[in-house]
Amino acid sequence: MDNINIGLLGCGVVGTGILRVLADKRDILQKERGLSIGVRGIVVRDLNRCRDDIVDATKLHTDWMHVCADDDIDVVVEVMGGTDSARAAVLYALRHGKSVVTANKELMAKYGDEIRHVAREYGQYVRFEASVLAGIPVVHTLETYFHMSQIVRLRGIMNGTSNYILTRMHREGLAFADALRAAQSLGYAEANPDMDVDGIDAWCKLQILLDCIGVPQDARVGTEVEGIRSVSQSDIRTAQTQNCKIKHVVSAQWDLESGLVNWHVGPESITLDDPLYAIDDVQNAICIDGDASGTITLSGPGAGALPTASAVLEDVLKIAQKLQVSLSV
């Protein structure tokens, strides 16, 4: 039996979801993979906060340095959010011989190059599947599939909040403000929804994917990041008369001659035959066009505690496999 110990930075909704999935899948992992994943330390801001029963209070710490430097921890999982403390913790963990899994899109969009560089420098692994579309394995697909086909376009719905709001506007004729309040009441939108409805969240996810593919910063040509605040019921009705829907779409188009990638983030009117037409509510999807492969569409839950936890733990498993191979050589 191989044992992998993780240090968990953050124990909110996603962190608790990780503990829940680990508990549910423990026997399957041991039986089918011969692997035991243990949680050695959990970093939280408040030790006195009431938590789910799945959280072992004896493993709680407030000092992330203590957990990141623990010699018995193999992988640090960062789900605490934000950028400043998360960046410091991730870099500290890598420099102390820990591989890292993160679900933090802002962190990877802003500091991804630096984090990958430090990981290479210290011979560690960094994985970030959950930072893009939670349970949709787009990073895995881009890393493992497109060796014999040149990617020529990415296009997707990459923010569940915006998609839910636009869906309600289409189905029920709600104004933007009313649809936003409905999303907030159901927990699909934050009290401050700017990142989602202004397109910033979707833009961050696109930058992570372009990083993953290896597109240099100076080859990325973008016009603007536009959200959905300007979408009116008049726009919705016009689209409906044309059998179209307005969706918030992220796109990147490769110019194979120049090597430039033209990207755009904003609302589009899409037709019935478009793969994104049927993606409603909080679902996400991405279409990957290859010159030989054609269009591959991945869709599913782009957010949520359990889908995100599942993606995080898939990354932990990938690192565990690499560690097992290196130890056996």
Residues linked to residue 251 through DSSP beta bridges, in sequence order? 155, 264
User: 294 a known binding residue?
Assistant: no
Contact 132, 274 (CB under 8 A): no
288 class by beta-carbon count within 10 Å (0-12 exposed, 13-18 middle, 19+ buried): buried
Residue with tokens 């990325």: 220
- Residue 170 to residues 7, 72, 244: CA-CA distances in angstroms? 44, 53, 10
Q: How many Å apart are CA 180 and CA 301, to the nearest integer?
A: 19
Task: Confirm whether residue 204 is marked as ligand binding.
Answer: no
244 is in an annotated binding site: no
Gap between the Cα atoms of 175 and 147, Å rounded: 45
Say if residue 12 carries a ligand binding annotation.
yes
Q: Is 261 annotated as a binding residue?
A: no
* Residue 190 annotated as lining a ligand binding site: yes
205 is an active site residue:
yes
CB 62 within 8 A of CB 86: no
Q: Which residues contact 159 (CB under 8 A, 6 or more apart)?
A: 196, 199, 201, 202, 205, 248, 284, 302
Query: Does the annotation flag 76 for ligand binding?
Result: no
Catalytic residue among 205, 247, 318, 322: 205
Does 245 show up as a binding residue in the annotation?
no
Per DSSP, helices labelled H in 96-151 are 105-121, 130-133, 138-144
Active site residues: 205
Residues at the annotated binding site for NADP(+)?
Answer: 10-15
Residues at the annotated binding site?
Answer: 10-15, 105, 190
